[in-house]
């Protein structure tokens, strides 16, 4: 596998895990507890496994969907963040709000929407740069 693939995996995983951990279990822990929807013993390895799967997929998909030969890394990052941020939101926020008991659906949607927006605002440019940095110099220089 190419260096850019593993850089992209790390570009997604390294900010996502701490952001998710601190957002859900530290910074807004009281608000999530008030929603009465989380288990007392959160299973962190399952959340990490989910993030690893996402990182592996996004690292594979990014250069295929947003190649630096067709667009700058900034445009690729913006497109990725918008497209996959909305997709992640539709997978992780709407169905949970629809299916699970919680004290306030609007509060849950607001918290998770903010989290998803911040997550993709952080990881999209990092992923784009990782894919670009791992390319051979000739390909990377054409899309500066």
Tell me the per-residue pLDDT of 46-70, one tens digit each, with 9 for 90 and over: 999 999 999 999 999 999 999 988 8
Give the structural domain span for 56.
3-141
pTM of the full structure = 0.88
Q: Which tens digit of pLDDT belongs to each residue from 116-133? A: 999 999 999 999 999 988
Q: Residue 101: left (phi > 0), alpha (psi -120 to 50), or beta?
A: beta
Q: What is the pLDDT of residue 135?
A: 66
- The domain total for the chain is 1
Residue 38 sits at φ, ψ, to 5 deg, of -95, 145
- Residues 59 and 16 sit within 8 Å (Cβ to Cβ): no
Nearest Cα to 77, choosing from 10, 117, 122?
Answer: 122
Residues 6 or more apart from 48 whose CB is under 8 A from it? 17
Q: What is the pLDDT of residue 33?
A: 94
d(CA 124, CA 126): 5
Helical pair 73-92 and 44-65, crossing angle rounded to 10 deg = 140
């Amino acid at each position: 596998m190419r260096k850019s693939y593993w850089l992209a995996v790390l570009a997604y995983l390294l900010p996502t895990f701490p952001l998710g951990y601190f957002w859900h279990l530290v910074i807004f822990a009281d608000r999530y507890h008030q929603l009465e929807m989380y288990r007392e013993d959160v299973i962190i390895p399952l959340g990490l496994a989910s993030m690893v799967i996402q990182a592996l997929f996004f690292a594979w998909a990014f250069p295929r969907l947003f190649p630096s030969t067709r667009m700058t890394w900034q445009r690729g990052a913006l497109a990725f963040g918008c497209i996959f941020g909305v997709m992640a939101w539709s997978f992780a926020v709407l169905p949970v709000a629809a299916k699970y008991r919680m004290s306030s659906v609007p509060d849950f949607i607001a918290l998770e929407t903010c989290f998803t927006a911040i997550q993709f605002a952080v990881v999209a440019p990092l992923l784009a740069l990782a894919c670009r940095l791992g390319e051979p110099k000739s390909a990377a220089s054409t899309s500066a």
